[in-house]
Chain A
Amino acid sequence: MDVIMLDSSESSNSRGSRGEDLLEDDEEEEIKRTLNSVMDELVDDVVLGLCFETHRSCKLGTLFLDETDIESENLYRIVDQVGLDVFGQLPQKKQLECICPNCSRNLAASRFAPHLEKCMGMGRNSSRIASRRILANTGKQENVASDNDSEDNKDDNDWSYAVDRKSKKSRKDRSGNSPRRGKISKLKNGDGAIGQHDTKMGSSHTTEASGQIFHLYDSMTLDEKKSILIQQCGVISEHTKKMCTRSHRCPQHSDEQRRMVRMYLLGSQHGGLLDVDEVQVDIDGYEDGDSQSLRESLQWEAASNPSPADSTSTTHSTGSRKRKKGKGGKKKGAIARSSPSSMYEFNIH
């Protein structure tokens, strides 16, 4: 009933007859009051709900749980200033490098995951490669105190042959293992003139400084050197006097530099052995093994070139494949030219 009355009052209001103005105002006032009281009831309901909630949490002991002491509140206050982050620090570029927990090398963050795959041995062949690399690294560090295993290997020809075969296999595996690395080396090979210049510089330097640098590695046995050179680039830096621990296809050093180092390390050892005339080494077998290892390394270099193209062919477009093939062909030709000469040089030794 009242509702209808209310409606009628509103409609009469729109009609606006002047004589009823006072009465309408009165009614409007009344309606407002009524509505306000209705609303207050609603508010009271909500307040009551809050009171129940507070009382409950009070009795459960959870009311003051979210409060902390002033000290820690000040310590962890959220900073709201222009130019600072919420911790009150200046936003600075984080260094995008991380240290590998396995081999403790410093790596760009973007390369970290692929490196970890290889280093930790999560990938297909990486565990074998990684363990081999670790072994080589430790061998390099403890080069003076060469461990018993390598000496055993030196004595036992069959055993070392088996090792060689294994390593050959692993090298083949690795050549197909990392298409990205292959791409990078290709890219670097692209800027030929500078690279070649570097190579010449490097090789001349190595010849001058070779006497100083290489004698550092004299204490290592031939097997150790071989195993290191099989796995690593091995080019010896003039500044740090250390071997490059990257793979054979490391873009910093050229094939020629690598060949020089191999010649010096394996060759000088060869000469040294002849001079000292150590009893334990059978020279014929030794020479065989040497040339074999060289052949292997050359084989590997030749085999490594087409393989990245193969492995990437599924992922890349035909255009890029064509380009790659062209480059690969060029590279192969260069190696084919260089390989007999190096073999020859080595045989002279």
Chain B
Amino acid sequence: MSDDRRVRDAQMRATINQKLVETGERERLKELLRTRLIECGWRDQLKAHCKEVVRQKGLEHVTVDDLVSEITPKGRALVPDTVKKELLQRIRTFLSQQSNI
């Protein structure tokens, strides 16, 4: 049951992603998300965190992987609920439009 669900989940996600990429909606959504996150100060917060990480690791030794692994959880957590809601709403409307065509 859970296996089945997981497969279905993955399938569904792949389909949605495909649709988003094909229509170019994904880029648009990403741009929207980026502006929203800059507007709400998320980017500055995260950048400050990045600097801390760089200071800890040392300017010369820091890698992109270090940064990604350190930053991503915090980045996800810091996204404001309003931005999340807006983004979800956009994806939903996009999907319903797609299925109507």
**Interface residue ranges, A against B (CB under 8 Å):** 1-4, 6-7, 10, 30, 33-52, 54-55, 58, 61, 63-64
Is the pair A43, B15 in contact by a Cβ cutoff of 8 Å? no
Is the pair B16, A34 in contact by a Cβ cutoff of 8 Å? yes
| Residues of A contacting B20 in the complex (Cβ-Cβ under 8 angstroms) | 38
Q: What 7 pairs across the A-B complex have the smallest Cβ distances?
A: A7-B99, A47-B75, A2-B12, A51-B67, A54-B50, A3-B99, A55-B64
* Distance from B62 Cβ to chain A, minimum over Cβ atoms (Å): 6
- Taking a contact as CB atoms closer than 8 A, the residue among A3, A33, A46 that contacts B9 in the complex is A33
**Interface residue ranges, B against A (CB under 8 Å):** 5, 8-9, 11-13, 15-17, 19-20, 26, 29-30, 33-34, 37, 43, 46-47, 50-51, 54, 59, 62-64, 67-68, 71-72, 75-76, 79, 84, 87-88, 91-92, 95-96, 98-100
| Residues of B contacting A30 in the complex (Cβ-Cβ under 8 angstroms) | 5, 8-9, 12
Can you list 13 A-B contacts with CB-CB less than 8 angstroms, sorted by A residue number? A1-B15, A3-B16, A10-B96, A38-B91, A44-B72, A45-B30, A47-B76, A49-B34, A51-B67, A54-B54, A58-B54, A58-B62, A63-B54
Q: How far is the CA of A86 from the CA of B46 in the complex (A)?
A: 28
* Distance from B48 Cβ to chain A, minimum over Cβ atoms (Å): 10
Interface of chain B, helix or strand or loop or mixed?
helix
* Distance from B9 Cβ to chain A, minimum over Cβ atoms (Å): 6
Given the known inter-chain contacts A34-B9, A48-B68, please indicate yes or no for A41 contacting B75, CB distance below 8 A: no
Q: How far is the CA of A186 from the CA of B62 in the complex (A)?
A: 80
Q: How far is the CA of A30 from the CA of B7 in the complex (A)?
A: 12
Given the known inter-chain contacts A3-B95, A42-B29, A46-B37, please indicate yes or no for A37 contacting B100, CB distance below 8 A: no
